[in-house]
Amino acid sequence: MYVILTSKPGQFRTETVRGLRPLEAYDYLFYGHTKAHFVIAELLEERTKIRVVEDDTAIVNDVPVKFLEKFETTEQALKELQHLTTFGHMDTELRKTALPAS
């Protein structure tokens, strides 16, 4: 199973934790400005909790993966990302980026 982790610069970041293996990363650009960062990760442990850290307050929330949509393949996850980031004729781009060094 695969999940999509979302981070929004200036708002919050989602951290990769034990039980997840990041596979692909993408930046979402809206009219040339980065609005979000996505990571498609393999779910290795069903009881994993995703760590979400708010940027301005540093509040940490550990969210169980049962609340995230899961995908059978990375291709399905990417197709969902493409669907979520396309709005008619607006200038949007989903740009593949390198995964952060571990």
- Does any domain span residue 49? yes
Please report, to the nearest 10 degrees, the dihedral formed by the alpha carbons of residues 98, 69, 61, 18 taken in order. Answer: -60
Give the domain extent around 85: 2-97
What's the domain count of the chain? Answer: 1
pLDDT of residue 102: 59
Report residues of the chain scoring pLDDT below 70: 101-102
- Please state the pTM of the whole predicted model: 0.90
Residue 8 lies in a domain: yes
pLDDT of 12 reads: 97
